[in-house]
Structure 1
């Protein structure tokens, strides 16, 4: 298949899991089932909810390795989530453009922070994709969302 017919996905949601132990929260940590976040959706959370959990509710956010190649994870107690934030969306879109792939597919745009409630700018995931694909100078650091990691 030609590369220009292949698109990369950027989800506007997180997959959530319940950890077996709060002490083991890295990649491949044992889980006992789907997670539950405050919205009550079993197994997933919208991006804008993840942003709020990290930025305002004490969830810890990490990048699973030093290369930055993985999408972020966030956790609190036995609650664990993996998701794309604006930094990951921007990195993916730049990679797609630099490597000649067809584009980006987003599911589902109403799960982005469109009001905005957590970020200072509306649609931070879509904005990050646009900036990555079209070499704009406004980076995700200017969107006012959660930090890249809890240590930044």
Structure 2
């Protein structure tokens, strides 16, 4: 546990309302304290995976270089994606681990169980509408795109 005082205060807050005299409240308070610790540990382990000298720390270093050279400071010209490479799998794993960290912390801190897989479809739908409006119907890649007709095709 990274910050013992924080985790103890968090468990105390989460179990404060469950200090009744009946057995159910006591069992529930123990369960909350145990699950809170488990979620904090799981989030901490995933965080350590990407921290300095972690097993996936090179992924973070690569993302920092990518951000600094291509996105933030425009030191390199944009490049066309030619296909999937090994970095894509690492970035996907990083995304999934980040999503799990958020789920664990929401559960531990706010007592909110959230499955990001359930919310993914909602955001996909709105993202699709956003990109459709950004591209416009006359741009390749838009779902309603139709190639412009040429005069030769019209005359035939």
Q: Shorter-chain TM-score: which interval?
A: under 0.3
More helix by share: 2
More strand by share: 1
TM-score normalised to the size of structure 1? 0.25
TM-score normalised to the size of structure 2? 0.25
- Computing the radius of gyration over CA atoms, which structure comes out larger, 1 or 2? 2
